[in-house]
Amino acid sequence: MTEPKKTQNLRDWLVDENVSSGRQALAQSWYRGFVGLASSPIAFLGLVIVVLLVLAATFAPWLATHDPYRQDLAQTLLPPSGAHWMGTDDLGRDVWSRLIYGSRTTLYITMLVTVIVAPIGFLVGAISGYVGGWLDTVLMRLTDIFLAFPSLVLALAFSAALGPGIGNAVLAIALTIWPPVARLARAETLTVRNSDYLASARLQGAGLGRVLWWHLVPICLPSIIVRLTLNMASVILTAAGLGFLGLGAQPPVAEWGAMAAAGRQYLIDAWWLTTFPGAAILLVSLAFNLLGDGLRDVLDPRNG
């Protein structure tokens, strides 16, 4: 540790040292993550599939060969061919084009749930672990209540109460995903709550907001990123389940679960209606799991 400059008092020096150490830890975690991810074939495969999903959603108008919402009753239930790569559905719509546009819906739900869950889970867990006492007891018992129910069952209950639609599905899924993130953030906070650098920050007058942002975020962020990445597979499966049951995206919106549900009555004669959406759900869920496992390995400080 370097000596404080003469023109800088001890308080400023301590705060600067604490802030820079948190930033350095975060930067080292990211650097180690990118290097380790490139060296892990399984994790890199998951990353490639996720990138392809993002590209498909971004360039859907150029990748789709037909209008995904245009009905043609003269071309219903056509098998895969050169004109329709994945066949057509019961309304004559091109399955390939609807699958591509369905990636937009899947990515939208996944990203929106993640954006909602990350700050809620972190704040609940970090405040619970840092403050402790009765607040910790109340927040963790609330978390236990949500964890007592299977996430899919709880999402179905919330969706049925809120009504069908993408917005309500996102809210229902978010309400079932945040408890594991809160538990993880609390565990990470408890490991450093009594550390010297947090004690010095408190002595220098740092409030709860400063401690959370400058000291606990760098500590919790790598683990939360891994948890959220693994949760994305669960989000995709839950969203597909809600769509399959008619509680998610509503017609004519292209969504993989709803596409699979629409084709179940033609499962024998038109296998492509359920096979291709189901394969897309399986492949993307597997990709997020592989990516999450790889990130967990490379962001673990014990592997550094």
Q: What is the tens place of the pLDDT at every residue in 7-46?
A: 444 444 434 444 455 555 555 555 655 666 667 788 888 8
* 98-147 pLDDT tens trace: 999 999 999 999 999 999 999 999 999 888 888 888 988 999 999 999 88
pLDDT in tens, 231-275: 899 999 999 999 999 998 888 899 999 999 999 889 888 999 999
Question: Per the domain annotation, does 91 fall within a domain?
Answer: yes
Instruction: Find how far residue 31's CA is from the centre of its chain.
Output: 21
Q: Is residue 4 part of a domain?
A: no
Cα gap 262→272, rounded to integer Å: 11
Number of domains in the chain: 1
Flag whether 5 is in a domain. no
Distance, CA of 175 to chain centre: 13
Chain center to CA of 235: 7
Could you tell me if residue 1 is inside a domain? Answer: no
Phi, psi of 2 (to 5 degrees): -75, 155
Higher confidence at residue 81 or residue 214? 81
Q: What is the pLDDT of residue 132?
A: 80
- Percent of the chain clearing pLDDT 90 (strictly above): 44
Q: Quick check: 74 pLDDT over 70? A: yes
- Could you tell me if residue 260 is inside a domain? yes
| Cis peptide bond upstream of 252, omega within 30 | yes
Three-point CA angle 111, 117, 120, nearest 5°: 145
Asked, for residue 237, whether it belongs to a domain, the answer is yes
Q: 219 lies in a domain?
A: yes
**In which band, very low, low, confident or very high, does the pLDDT at 230 lie, cut at 50, 70 and 90?**
confident
Q: Minimum mean pLDDT among 34-38, 52-56, 293-297: which range?
A: 34-38
pLDDT for res 108? 94
Task: For residue 149, give every residue at least 6 positions away whose Cβ sits within 8 Å of its Cβ, in sequence order, or none.
Answer: 157, 176
Beta bridge partners of 94: 88
Report yes or no: 229 and 295 within 8 Å, Cβ to Cβ: yes
2 inside domain = no
Higher pLDDT: 209 or 260? It is 260
Residue 35 belongs to a domain with what CATH number? 1.10.3720.10
The whole-angstrom separation of Cα 105 and Cα 170 is 11
The CA distance from 126 to 136, in Å, is: 10
pLDDT category of residue 183 using cuts at 50, 70 and 90: very high
Task: Tell me the residue range of the domain where 81 lies.
Answer: 10-303
